[in-house]
Amino acid sequence: MKNKKERLQLIVNLVKKNSIGSQNELAQMLEKNGCRVTQATLSRDLKSMKITKVATNDGGYMYIIPDTNKIHDSMLMSGQRSMTAHQQVGFISIKFSGNIAVIKTRNGYAAGLAYDIDMSHSDEVLGTIAGADTVFAIMDENLSHDDALKFFARFIPVEHE
């Protein structure tokens, strides 16, 4: 491997295309691709790219890459994103309990969705709490569920009238 930039790109590609559960497993994959790294270097690389582990449905873990680039964030903050360009593919369902929206996602997708909602800095949602597969979104108490669905359609594929 010629340089750090190439190594980091290889790590991104491997994490995106494989279910990798440990640094040792990732190091072996890197070595098969011509990149030998120490555990300390790999750990620093993962930390610098904010790659993290999430629990899988089978009781194991896998690395994921959060979606936090600056352009993405600034577009969310200004509300400039088109629906198809950003909707979370891990979305499962949304239900309401008073002024709380309970959004179910595939395992590992809730934090990214909550982040996107929070970065919109909207008046509709006061804040979110995310687990591995669930987002609690606290909505303004005067917001109707239909208006909430219109708002959430910016982030998830929901139907509203």
Q: What is the DSSP string of 4-30?
A: HHHHHHHHHHHHHHS----HHHHHHHH
The pLDDT of residue 149 is: 93
**CA dist list (Å): 14 to 73, 129, 154:** 24, 30, 30
Q: Name residues whose C-beta falls within 8 Å of residue 116's C-beta, 6 or more positions apart in sequence.
A: 67, 76, 86, 88, 155
**87, 152 contact by CB (below 8 A):** no
Taking the mean position of all CA atoms in its chain, how far away is CA 107? 10
CA nearest neighbour of 14 among 69, 31, 2:
31
**What DSSP state is assigned to residue 141?**
T
Q: Give the pLDDT score at 154.
A: 87
Tokens of 118: 């929070």
The residues near 63 (Cβ < 8 Å, ≥ 6 apart) are: 15, 20, 21, 26, 46, 51, 52, 53
Q: What is the pLDDT of residue 155?
A: 87
111: left (phi over 0), alpha (psi -120 to 50) or beta: alpha
pLDDT tens, per residue, the chain with 161 residues: 568 888 988 998 898 888 899 999 999 999 999 999 999 999 999 988 888 888 777 778 888 876 544 444 444 555 544 333 344 457 889 999 999 999 998 888 888 899 889 988 899 999 999 998 999 999 999 999 999 999 998 888 876 55
